[in-house]
Chains A and B, each alone.
Chain A
C-alpha cells in the first residue's frame, strides 16, 4: 500500500472473495478482515457491511470503519508459506533449503550455510563465493 500499488491488493482480494464464494457459508473470521481490508478502496460498501456485521454502532469507533485497525497477519500462517530453493555447490545441485517465500538475502544465506551438505563441503572453512538469487537458487563456491 505504501508504494501505491493498489492493483495487486485488489487482485488478491478478488481471489480471496472468489474462494469464499465457494464455501457453504462465510465464516465471520474471514468476512470481517476482508471487509476491513477493502475499506480504503471501497469505503461505502465496506461501511455498510461493517454495520451489518454488527459493528460501528458504538460511540468508541465513531460509528464508522474509518479508524478500525487494518488486519494484522498471523505470523504462524505466514511461515507456512515457504519455498524450496536448490543449493548448488561448485555449480552442481547438492541440496535444497526451505525458506519463507519472502525471505531476504541474509536469511537465505544463513539458511544455506546451516545446511548439512554445505557444512560438509566447507569443512570448517569460509565459502569463496556465496551467490543468492532470492526465490530462485543459492550457489556456493568452495
Chain B
C-alpha cells in the first residue's frame, strides 16, 4: 500500500525531492492508513460475551480501559479546528494505552435529538431524521480524516430507534420504581414490591386506611405519588417563544431560555417530573468517590445545595409561622419576619380594624409582584419593597415581639414561604431594615480589622455600621435563661447548641434543606424520544410493555409546536404529536383485554439519551438487553483492585466544563437508579472526568461592530489592524462561524495533513488548558515531521536509510530521559515528579 502511495507522488516541482514529506504525500499516507485500519478492523475491541465477543483476543490485549468523549450534537455547520481538541486528546491516550498492554474501548456516538434539526425541518419541511443523518455522515467523514482510532461498530446515535428503544425502556424502569428511604435499603425498588408491602400491611398507606379498603383510583394516586417518574401539576418554566416548557437548568440567570433567549414564565402545568431529589444525598456524598476536577464537584454540590439549618416556629395570632433558616444560631438577632405575599396567613394577620387600608395595600402589592419574573425577584441588588401587615409574632428565643412584613423577594415555592430577618448578619435583611427603619440588634462582635477596613471605631451600635457583618465572630446578646451562645465563636457550634435548645423547647427542629428540585422531563416538541406511556379512559398512565418498544416517532410534516408571542405568559402548550389523532389513539391489550388508549404527546428532553449512552457503546448489538451484565461488569464494574471504594464507571471521560450540572448530574442520577434496580454493577457512570481546554482565536470587528473575515486582516499589535484598508479592532475568545474566525480542519488537512494538525493541537499546553489558534504557527509542527521523515527516509529514493550501528551514549540518554519506565510497577517518571512536588 505504502509503495503505491509514494509512486503516485511524482508530480511535485523539480526542486522538491520526489519522496519529501509534502502535504500531498501526507494526505496519501493518511487516507491510505485510514482505509487500512477500517478494512482490517484494527481498532475493533472485543467484549467478554455477545456479538462483539472474541475469546481469543480479550486476554492477550490485557487490562481494560474505557475512554470516552462527551459525544457531539451533529450540527449542520460542520467542525472547526477548535472542536476536536478533546477528541485528539482521547485518541492519543487510547493509542498510548493500546501500546502499553491495555484492551481499550473507544468510540464516538452522536447526541442527535434537539432543536436545530427540528427548526430546520420547520423551515424547510425536510424531516429532521434526514437532516440529522446527513449531518452525522458529514461529521463522521471529518472525524475519520483526523485518524481517530474509534471502534466504529460501537458508534450509535441517540435518534436510532434501536437506541431510543432502550432510552424508553430505562424510562419505564424509572416510572416503575419508587425510593425506599428506610436505612437498610436507601435505594430504588420496583413498584411491584411497594404494592406487595401495602397489600401485606408491611407498609401503611399515607392516611392509614387498609389497602384492601381503597378503591382502584385511590390506590393509583398513592402509587403514582411514589413513582420516580411522575406527572405533576407544578410550577414549571413555560417558554411561549419556544412553545415548550424547559428545565430549571435550561433557564439562564436572567430568566430566559438558554436556547433562543426567550422570556420564561413560572406557570402551573401538568408535566412529567423525575424524582431526582430522592437522590440528593447520594449525589453529593458519592462525589467523594470520583476522580473529577474539584471545580465540577463544587458546582454539583452548589446546585444540589444541601444545607443544615432549622425550622423555627414564631407564635402569631394566625398560628405558628414556620421559617426555615440556615443560621438558627442568629435567632437572637431576628428582629422582623418577612412573608411571601401569597403566604396563607397574610389575610388573617392583616387586620383592617387595627390597620386601616391594609387590605387594599396588600392587594395592590400582590398585583405588582405578580408582574415580576422569578429572576427579578431573586435579584438582590433591586430596590427593596414591602408592606407591614400591622401584626406581630413572638421570637421564641427571647419573647420579643417582631413585626410581620410581606415582601416579594420571599417566594412561596421555596422553603416555607416565610423568613426570619437577621439584619445585622445578612446583607438583604440589613438593606430592608435600613429602608424601613427596623431595629438591627447586634448579636456578633465583628473583629477589629472589620471596623478598621471601614474606618470605624469598634462598636456594637449598628446604626454606625455601613453594612451587615457576615462571618464567624464571637456571639453577644445571645443568651437567655436556658441557653447561652455568648462565648462561642463559630457557627457550627452555635447552630448545634441552638438546634438542641429548639428541639428541647418544642419550638423548632434541625433540618436539612436542598436547592435541588425534581427534574422537569417533558417537552412539547417533535424531535425527541416519545414516552412509552399510554393513558386509559380515566387518565391513568400505563407503561407500554417492553415487547412493544420502541414507540417510534410518527411520520408527519408539521414539526413545530405552536409558538406564541414570547411575552404571552398565559398561553398553553400544544405539541406537534397532539395533532396526530391516528397515532395518539391506540388499541392495546395491556392485560385487561383490548382497549383504546391515548398516547402521551410529549417527548423527552435532549438530556435523555446522554444519560446512559456509554452502556450502549459497550453492547451496541444486544437486542435482548440495553447492555449484557457481563459486558457492563467488565468495562464499568468497580475496580476494587485500584481502591476498595472504587465506584466503577468509565476510566476517562473527557468533555467541556459547561456540562457540569446538566448532563453530568442527570447521567449520575439515572445510573444510580439502574444500579439500585440491579441492572448495572457500577455505582457511578464516570470514574474519572477531565475537562479539556478550548482553542481560542482572535476575532476582528469593523467600525460598525460587525465581524470581518479574520484571515483577511493585516497588521500587528504595534501598528494596529486593518481589513481592506479600514481599521478594525481585535478581540480574543471563542472560535466560530459567526465570529468569522473559524478555521476548518479540511483546510489544515489540505495544507499540512492530519498528523500536523493533531500535533499542533496537542503541543499548545496540557490538555486541560486553553490555547490560542495561530494558523501561521502550524507550519512549525509540519517542519518537525519533515525532519523526522528525513531522518528515516532517503528523500530521493524513498528508501529507509537508517543504519544498524549502535547509537552513541549521549543520544541514548536523550532517548531514555523521557521514555516510559519499565512495566515492573515503578511509577511513570512524571507521576513521581508530581508526588515529589506534593511532598514539599
Taking a contact as CB atoms under 8 Å apart, the answer to whether A30 and B836 are in contact is no
| Complexed CA–CA distance, A17 and B781 (Å) | 12
Interface SS majority for chain B: helix
Instruction: Please give, as numbers and ranges, the residues of chain B lying within 8 Å of A38 by CB-CB distance.
Output: 788
User: In the complex, which residue of chain A has the Cβ closest to the Cβ of B826?
Assistant: A75
The segment from B322-330, B672-680, B812-820 that touches chain A is: B812-820
Given contacts A1-B96, A27-B807, contact A12 B755 (CB under 8 A): no
- A40 touches which one: B34, B95, B763, B832 (CB < 8 A)? B95
- B800 touches which one: A15, A33, A36, A54 (CB < 8 A)? A54
Given contacts A20-B811, A44-B755, A45-B21, contact A66 B43 (CB under 8 A): yes
Taking a contact as CB atoms under 8 Å apart, the answer to whether B755 and A73 are in contact is no
User: In the complex, which residue of chain A has the Cβ closest to the Cβ of B812?
Assistant: A77
- Residues of chain A at interface, number, CB under 8 A: 74
A16 within 8 A of partner (CB)? yes
B822 within 8 A of partner (CB)? yes
Q: How far is the CB of B266 from chain A (nearest CB, A)?
A: 43
| Complexed CA–CA distance, A61 and B759 (Å) | 25
Interface string of B734-761 (1 = CB under 8 A from A): 0000000000000000000111101100
User: In the complex, which residue of chain B has the Cβ closest to the Cβ of A65?
Assistant: B99
Given contacts A28-B803, A52-B800, A69-B100, contact A6 B92 (CB under 8 A): yes
Instruction: Please give, as numbers and ranges, the residues of chain B lying within 8 Å of A40 by CB-CB distance.
Output: 91-93, 95-96, 99
Taking a contact as CB atoms under 8 Å apart, the answer to whether B763 and A10 are in contact is yes
Taking a contact as CB atoms under 8 Å apart, the answer to whether A102 and B836 are in contact is yes
Taking a contact as CB atoms under 8 Å apart, the answer to whether A10 and B759 are in contact is yes
Given contacts A27-B807, A42-B785, A71-B820, contact A1 B42 (CB under 8 A): no
Taking a contact as CB atoms under 8 Å apart, the answer to whether B99 and A70 are in contact is yes
Instruction: Please give, as numbers and ranges, the residues of chain B lying within 8 Å of A20 by CB-CB distance.
Output: 791, 811
| Complexed CA–CA distance, A37 and B816 (Å) | 11
Interface residues of A in 45-88 (CB under 8 A from B): 45, 47-49, 51-54, 62-64, 66-75, 77-78, 80-81
From A35, A53, A80, A102, residue with most partner B Cβ within 10 Å: A102
B591 within 8 A of partner (CB)? no
B482 within 8 A of partner (CB)? no
Interface string of B222-235 (1 = CB under 8 A from A): 00000000000000
Q: How far is the CB of B597 from chain A (nearest CB, A)?
A: 52
* Tier of interface size on chain B: 35 or more
Taking a contact as CB atoms under 8 Å apart, the answer to whether B839 and A27 are in contact is no
| Complexed CA–CA distance, A4 and B734 (Å) | 23
- A4 touches which one: B98, B767, B807 (CB < 8 A)? B767
Taking a contact as CB atoms under 8 Å apart, the answer to whether B26 and A134 are in contact is no
Instruction: Please give, as numbers and ranges, the residues of chain B lying within 8 Å of A45 by CB-CB distance.
Output: 21, 26, 29, 755, 785, 788-789
- B99 touches which one: A34, A44, A67 (CB < 8 A)? A67
Given contacts A68-B99, A104-B835, contact A17 B784 (CB under 8 A): yes
Given contacts A7-B762, A26-B802, A45-B29, contact A73 B816 (CB under 8 A): yes
| Complexed CA–CA distance, A68 and B759 (Å) | 21
Instruction: Please give, as numbers and ranges, the residues of chain B lying within 8 Å of A133 by CB-CB distance.
Output: 840
A3 within 8 A of partner (CB)? yes
- B816 touches which one: A2, A7, A27, A77 (CB < 8 A)? A77
Q: How far is the CB of B758 from chain A (nearest CB, A)?
A: 6
State the 6 A-B residue pairs at the shortest beta-carbon distance, nearest first. A40-B95, A42-B755, A27-B807, A70-B99, A134-B836, A4-B767
Q: Which residues of A contact B (CB under 8 A)?
A: 1-21, 23, 25-31, 33-45, 47-49, 51-54, 62-64, 66-75, 77-78, 80-81, 102-105, 132-135
What would be 14 A-B contacts, judged by CB atoms less than 8 Å apart? Answer: A1-B93, A4-B767, A5-B767, A7-B762, A11-B763, A17-B791, A18-B787, A27-B806, A33-B815, A45-B788, A63-B36, A64-B37, A73-B820, A134-B839
